[in-house]
Structure 1
């Protein structure tokens, strides 16, 4: 049974440019412009009309955008929950400008070992993450550690948890790696079993539905759990609407200041109707699209995801806005 029929999340790519070269990501290889404030404000107004509640200003590295504070200020003006994920390289320089504008601030850290983390990210950023934690805390922010879980770093979770997140009163987000195109990868059965033991730990966010979906073999095109196109709106740095999702990205449509009418048009709705049913969707388990998919339709994944989702929004203080606010201007 479908609970919510409108999109709830916007993945707003402020730029594809990045100052890291993570081995499990290829976005940094793409040439890219930066979004403009003029386009962003018009799109934010339309996103509000469409029912979106969360804006993930993403990239690339979102802190490369010189007007990110202004973008976040606009998002807060229109009542959105905001989220940013950063490698930490630029945060120490920009922290004061970002203060109070990010509801969910994530610092990426994939190993307790500096050498391993920096090699995986393709740039020396481990110490910047630690510095960013201290600066964010001094400003009264409540950042999270986003740990991308792979087969070769799963044993590091304990050290990061006990020696970094707990002493700093941070939430540890455990993000199982996913595969798309020719990058990323999967988790072994043994890794999934090890990871599942972390789901009930204090100040750990782990969506059990992610693990269940992987155990089930990912999305099935015959009975798709993926609702990526109807729950998430993806906007590119070129101010285009990407469908059915960023990672598949089969089609792009120029927005031209008319996001609402474009999204509601017959041609876009026809594409949305094929979400999770395309041949390329078979076996997909991409977290950033499954998280909203799990929240809009009652099935076993909904119930698996519900406890961690409620717990995290309670921790962050966003639960009222996420679940009970109206989506009108």
Structure 2
């Protein structure tokens, strides 16, 4: 049973540029402009009309956009819940200007061991994450630690939890890795690893969407009965000010927005592509977290029930439930 019929999330790519070269990501390899403030203002207005509640200003590295605080201010003025994920290299520079503008601020950290994290990111940034945690806490912010989980680092969850998250009262977000396009990440987590992740998801200050585990146990999205609702739940906007469909990772087609996002999204041409969500050949077996999470939230099925406890837990701890009621 479909509970929500309109998009709830916007993945707004402010740039594809990045100051890191993560081995499990190819976004940083793409040439890219930066979004303009005028285009963002127009698009946020239309996102509001379409029913979107959460705007994820993403990249690349979103803090490379020098006007990110202004973009966030505009989103907050319109009542959106905002989220930013950063490698923290630039956070100390912009922390004061970002204060109070990001509801869900995520610092990416893939290992509690500096050398291992820096190697995975292709740049020395572990120390910047540690510095950013201290600075954010001093400013009254409460960032989350986003931990991309591989088979090779799952044994480090305890150290990350006990030495970094609990002492700073931070939420540890467990993000099971996934393959996409030509990027091979070794994403097939073992059943033992999935079971261990489920256990960790029940611990204090740890967030894991249990539906991610169930979906992997079920072999991912299946095109004959798709779970994925990427295009109908999530609006993807590129740095070139284009609407990307059916999702960023598949990127089958894009449309120039030109100040008409609301009408464009509702157009027959776009809605025909929306109807193909989860049904295209490349959608078979997909487990991409950033599209599955909103998919689980709009239709009452076993994944909705699996996702519910962790969703309630996170929003209660972060206080964002107040903005959702």
* Superposition TM-score, scaled by structure 1 size: 0.97
Residue 303 of structure 1 is matched in structure 2 by: 305
Q: Where in structure 2 are the equivalents of 1:225-244 lying within 5 Å?
A: 225-244=227-246
Residue 67 of structure 1 is matched in structure 2 by: 67
CA distance in 1, matches of 2:322, 2:251: 33
Runs of 4+ with deviation above 4 angstroms: none
Q: Where in structure 2 are the equivalents of 1:174-185 lying within 5 Å?
A: 174-183=174-183, 184-185=185-186
Of 292, 301, 321 in structure 2, the residue corresponding to residue 290 of structure 1 is 292
Residue 86 of structure 1 is matched in structure 2 by: 86
Residue 54 of structure 2 is matched in structure 1 by: 54
CA distance in 1, matches of 2:322, 2:275: 30
**Are the aligned partners of 1:14 and 1:237 in contact in 2 as well (CA < 8 Å)?**
yes
Q: Which runs of 5+ in 2 are unaligned?
A: none
| CA-CA distance at 1:320 after TM superposition | 2.7
CA distance in 2, matches of 1:161, 1:66: 32
| CA-CA distance at 1:196 after TM superposition | 1.5
CA distance in 2, matches of 1:21, 1:152: 19
Q: Where in structure 2 are the equivalents of 1:30-49 lying within 5 Å?
A: 30-49=30-49
Matched position secondary structure for 2:130: helix
Q: Does 1:191 find its partner at 2:180?
A: no
**Are the aligned partners of 1:24 and 1:185 in contact in 2 as well (CA < 8 Å)?**
no
* Superposition TM-score, scaled by structure 2 size: 0.99
Of 207, 210, 213 in structure 2, the residue corresponding to residue 211 of structure 1 is 213
Q: Where in structure 2 are the equivalents of 1:243-254 lying within 5 Å?
A: 243-254=245-256
Deviates more, 1:177-186 or 1:57-66: 177-186
Residue 281 of structure 1 is matched in structure 2 by: 283
Q: Which runs of 5+ in 1 are unaligned?
A: 325-329
CA distance in 1, matches of 2:322, 2:264: 30
CA distance in 2, matches of 1:141, 1:208: 27
Deviations 1:27-76, CA, capped at 9 Å, x for gaps? 00000000000000000000000000000000000000000000000000
Report how many residues are paired.
Answer: 323
Deviations 1:196-222, CA, capped at 9 Å, x for gaps? 110110010000000000010000001
CA distance in 1, matches of 2:170, 2:318: 11
Q: CA RMSD in A?
A: 0.6
Deviations 1:151-192, CA, capped at 9 Å, x for gaps? 100011100000000000000000000110121331122211
**Are the aligned partners of 1:227 and 1:289 in contact in 2 as well (CA < 8 Å)?**
yes
